[in-house]
Structure 1
Amino acid sequence: MTIYGGSGFLGRYITRRLAQQGWRVRVACRRPEEALFVRTYGVVGQVEPVFCNIRDDDSVRGVMTGADAVVNCVGVLAEKGRNTFKAVQEEGPERIARLAAELGVARMVHVSAIGADAESESEYARSKAAGEAGVLRHMPQAVVLRPSILFGSEDEFFNRFASMAQISPVIPVVGANTKFQPVHADDVANAAALAVTGHAAPGVYELGGPDVHSFRELIVQMLRIIRRRRLVLALPFGVGRLMATAGGVVQMLSLGLVRAPITADQVANLRHDNVVGTGAKGFSDLGIEPIAMEAVLPDYLWRFRPSGQYLAIKESARNLRPH
């Protein structure tokens, strides 16, 4: 089988699960030399990173030939160069689905996102909706997974804000009251594996964890885990747009060396809750009980604590009474 984006954050979890189930996996990615770690997910020769550019028909077809199933989990949070929302999240998924249909691939799983909406003011959300439509146009029996914000040891959410808390006394938050339903990457990978093996009915599944929290509550919980007291500063959306504009200018002048902290498109996305919709199919329809983030976050956020892995020892030592 072929997994497009199989070495990315979510992709590696999907790759690992399918390798454990005995699949021979091609991990299609832009930089296979940086994805050699996926080989360790299976026996020798079972998992192999291969070059692929999802903007090119021949490249996509070349890594798909002979596959029984395909998974697409390629996505971008911000545009960079030729990797625009349209190219990666609209045209890319449709290209994969079209070629899968031509080659007679039996099953396809496409990872989208909660909030995909053709009428959204966010280009990210519109491209996600267009990508879904393109997939279902060519592979009507495909399974589309829409996760909420993902967490896991390699995530770009909790790790990013925890890193910020190490050096800043203030954590600015745009959309502090926006609701999220964080979901563990491996639970989404489990859903993808069920779909690949035919244990999930075709259709769209919205995947969220067991709890719903506001953006502010997520940051407060993260700070509690890393044992740091910081001011969580709620910023109006207008201020967020100004930050996005200024950050974009700095990023452009630095030729991309300085990354904008937030984009205008992300500000637009933060205006809407990111939770499972009423009546949507989800984990319960797949027989999966999602894990709570409280059970996972301490396993990888400990490194952001003042004393890292030794904090628990120090706290315990304070309770010792001198004899």
Structure 2
Amino acid sequence: MGLTVAVTGPTGEIGTSVVRALERDGRVERVLGMARRPFDPASRGWTKTEYRRGDILDRPAVDALVAAADVVVHLAYVIVGSREESERINLSGTRNVFEATASAARPGRLVYTSSVAAYGYHKDNPSPITEDVPPRGSPEHYYSAQKAACERLLAETTAGLETYVLRPCVVVGPEATVLLRNMPWEQAARRVPEPLRRLLGAVPGLHPVLPDPGTRFQLVHQDDVAAAATAAVTAAGPPGAYNLAGDGEITVTDFARAIGAYAVPVPGELVGLTAELVDALPAMPAQAEWIHAVRHPMTVDTTKARRDLHWTPAHTTREALHTMARR
């Protein structure tokens, strides 16, 4: 008998790739995908996957999902939203998944997709960061703080389970476009009438501009995260935390060129002052907090995932970027 795997968030930016990878793996017999909105597995070419309607905030629905699984993969998570909404879903919902999995009789393994943001954006972080560095989070950055809080929840609630914590850097790909969709001009474009958007798009030389403080960062392709998740599901290596990133690094200038924008060099001190202003002003949109992510370099070491999970990313950081830009 093969594995039955329960997946929360199966149709999200990472979830779609993870389910595809599980579908291809001969050691997986059945995938139970729980989402709030209906989806048709057959329309996606999925033959092992069954749709379960449910919300991670609904504990009975989570209990029913995990009770039927050998392995639970928790992917459901709000990346961009209000601090209050994301905290409710990310912390309360995640607690439901962790506690339900730990108390159910059948599951023996839990795979949780955290983030390198859990380490926090701190000036004294080593570079590159290894898994030995404790996930401190950054209180001024809601996503970072919540990822670190979820890892503390994991440690508190899942004794007796084999737990795998995947910490990818920014995930990109043809379906993983949240980074691109939340650029300021993309947000503004949604409020501009379509005829005017077409007219502006036809103006020669009119391109968005991004400030580049020179901070280098990594990306990882959605399919490479899925490969690591499958390795964890099938216990290809020991339980524990694993950093995930594509080879190489890029700058904001590299990112801007790939998406058809311009980049302007700015002093790092200006980014710091802007971040402090964001913290001080009331009623700032939650997306503004992401400026903290470029205040200090954050690159991670992936030696442990390569050695213990036998994971090798198929895409470099630069290649992953271009798969998103060409979507």
Q: TM-score range by the shorter chain?
A: 0.7 to 0.9
The structure 1 residue matched to 2:294, chosen from 270, 289, 308, is: 270
Identity %, equivalent residues: 25
SS in 1 for 2:263: strand
C-alpha distance in structure 1 between counterparts of 2:112 and 2:20, whole Å: 17
**Which amino acid is the alignment partner of residue 126 of structure 1?**
A
The structure 1 residue matched to 2:226, chosen from 189, 196, 220, is: 189
The 8 Å contact of residues 210 and 263 in structure 2, kept in 1 or not, is answered as yes
- 1:103 corresponds to which residue? 104
Instruction: Tell me the CA shift for residue 37 of structure 1.
Output: 5.0
- 1:92 corresponds to which residue? 93
C-alpha distance in structure 1 between counterparts of 2:42 and 2:88, whole Å: 26
The 8 Å contact of residues 3 and 70 in structure 1, kept in 2 or not, is answered as yes
C-alpha distance in structure 1 between counterparts of 2:322 and 2:251, whole Å: 19
1:98 and 1:300, CA in 2 relative to 1: closer, same or farther beyond 3 A?
closer
1:267 and 1:163, CA in 2 relative to 1: closer, same or farther beyond 3 A?
closer
The structure 1 residue matched to 2:170, chosen from 133, 145, 149, is: 149
Q: Deviations over 1:102-129 (max 9, x none)?
A: 1131110000100204351322111101
**Which amino acid is the alignment partner of residue 191 of structure 1?**
A
The 8 Å contact of residues 255 and 321 in structure 2, kept in 1 or not, is answered as no
- 2:245 corresponds to which residue? 208
Instruction: Describe how 1:1-323 pairs up with structure 2 within 5 A.
Output: 1-21=5-25, 22-32=28-38, 35-36=39-40, 40-43=44-47, 46-80=48-82, 83-84=85-86, 86-104=87-105, 105-117=107-119, 118-120=136-138, 121-140=140-159, 141-154=162-175, 155-158=177-180, 167=201, 169-173=206-210, 176-220=213-257, 222-223=258-259, 228=260, 230-234=261-265, 236-237=270-271, 238-239=273-274, 263-277=287-301, 281-290=304-313, 291-295=315-319, 297-298=321-322, 301-302=325-326
The 8 Å contact of residues 137 and 146 in structure 2, kept in 1 or not, is answered as no
The 8 Å contact of residues 28 and 63 in structure 1, kept in 2 or not, is answered as yes
The 8 Å contact of residues 225 and 244 in structure 2, kept in 1 or not, is answered as yes
**Which amino acid is the alignment partner of residue 225 of structure 2?**
V
Deviates more, 1:118-127 or 1:179-188: 118-127
C-alpha distance in structure 1 between counterparts of 2:51 and 2:185, whole Å: 30
Instruction: Tell me the CA shift for residue 55 of structure 1.
Output: 1.6
C-alpha distance in structure 2 between counterparts of 1:100 and 1:197, whole Å: 17
C-alpha distance in structure 2 between counterparts of 1:3 and 1:109, whole Å: 9
The 8 Å contact of residues 174 and 326 in structure 2, kept in 1 or not, is answered as no
C-alpha distance in structure 1 between counterparts of 2:264 and 2:282, whole Å: 18
Instruction: Tell me the CA shift for residue 174 of structure 1.
Output: 5.2
The 8 Å contact of residues 116 and 125 in structure 1, kept in 2 or not, is answered as yes
Deviates more, 1:283-292 or 1:15-24: 283-292
Instruction: Tell me the CA shift for residue 244 of structure 1.
Output: 9.7
C-alpha distance in structure 2 between counterparts of 1:18 and 1:60, whole Å: 20
Q: Name stretches of at least 5 consecutive residues in structure 1 with no aligned partner.
A: 250-259, 304-323
Instruction: Tell me the CA shift for residue 240 of structure 1.
Output: 6.4
Instruction: Tell me the CA shift for residue 213 of structure 1.
Output: 1.6
Q: Name stretches of at least 5 consecutive residues in structure 2 with no aligned partner.
A: 120-135, 190-199
The 8 Å contact of residues 175 and 270 in structure 1, kept in 2 or not, is answered as no
Instruction: Tell me the CA shift for residue 30 of structure 1.
Output: 1.7
Coordinate RMSD, CA, aligned: 3.2
1:247 and 1:170, CA in 2 relative to 1: closer, same or farther beyond 3 A?
farther
Q: How many residues align?
A: 280
1:295 and 1:179, CA in 2 relative to 1: closer, same or farther beyond 3 A?
closer
1:129 and 1:136, CA in 2 relative to 1: closer, same or farther beyond 3 A?
same
**Which amino acid is the alignment partner of residue 11 of structure 1?**
G
SS in 1 for 2:118: coil
- With the length of structure 1 as denominator, give the TM-score of the two structures: 0.75
1:233 and 1:6, CA in 2 relative to 1: closer, same or farther beyond 3 A?
same
Instruction: Tell me the CA shift for residue 147 of structure 1.
Output: 0.2
The 8 Å contact of residues 170 and 232 in structure 1, kept in 2 or not, is answered as no
SS in 1 for 2:73: strand
1:284 and 1:129, CA in 2 relative to 1: closer, same or farther beyond 3 A?
same
Q: Deviations over 1:70-103 (max 9, x none)?
A: 001122222249632x223323222211111111
The 8 Å contact of residues 92 and 131 in structure 1, kept in 2 or not, is answered as no
**Which amino acid is the alignment partner of residue 66 of structure 2?**
M
**Which amino acid is the alignment partner of residue 179 of structure 1?**
R
Instruction: Tell me the CA shift for residue 234 of structure 1.
Output: 5.0
